[in-house]
Amino acid sequence: TMAAPVGEMVWVPVLEEGVFRFDASEEARSAAGPSLSFVEPRRREEPREGGDRPAVVPACEVAGNVQKVVIKLPSGTSFYGTGEASGPLERTGKRVFTWNTDAWGFGPGTTSLYQSHPWVLAVLPDGKAFGVLADTTRRCEIDLRQECTIKFSAPSAYPIITFGPYNSPAEVMMSLSHAIGISHLIINLFPY
């Protein structure tokens, strides 16, 4: 199959102010599977009222059955998240695959442990923060090796959910918790 041209994704505001759903196209939005990330999956499907526009719009390319998403952020941005993977908390310059393994005896080079969370928290140079969730259960590559760029690559049509930019990482995590529920890690990192 020939690759579709790289282009801006179509978007719709969801959940609350500053949260947007992006799809490769209207057809891809219809083809996407149900959300297994959202506590209430219908909230990913229901556009919300509000006139705000996304501050960051991802670009997307579909090649065969693989959807590749690219999000460019300002110079000096640092990245965190990517689910359970070994290594330092900061993920800038790393590549992680969200594909679970029983990682007995894992070490610094192990990229996947026990849970898959295709999620990146970006801390911008001005101190604001931005979150990105690839809402897919498929094997997903998260590539943070190119400066200030998030790349997701996974089979099939899947939406990208963005959070912010908000004034702090804590605000991004609060908004994420409104979508996926509260995890113990969120409570420990950002107590209420």
| Parallel/antiparallel/unpaired status of strands 59-63 and 7-8 | antiparallel
Tally: H helices and E strands in the chain: 4, 12
- Asked whether the predicted pLDDT for residue 86 surpasses 60, the reply is no
- Taking alpha carbons only, the member of 175, 161, 176, 166 closest to residue 13 is 161
**CATH T-level topology, domain 7-189:** Immunoglobulin-like (2.60.40)
Mean pLDDT of 135-162: 93
What confidence score (pLDDT) does residue 185 get?
53
Highest mean pLDDT: which range of 1-5, 137-141, 171-175: 171-175
Distance from CA of residue 1 to its chain's centroid?
Answer: 26
* pLDDT at res. 9: 95
Contact 166, 178 (CB under 8 A): no
DSSP letter for 90, please. B
pTM: 0.83
State mean pLDDT over 116-124: 86
Residue 107 has pLDDT above 90, yes or no: no
Residue with the larger pLDDT of the pair 99 and 48? 48
Question: Which structure tokens are listed for 170?
Answer: 């804590």
In what side-by-side order are the strands of the sheet with 10-13? Answer: 10-13, 19-23, 160-166, 129-134, 119-123, 78-81
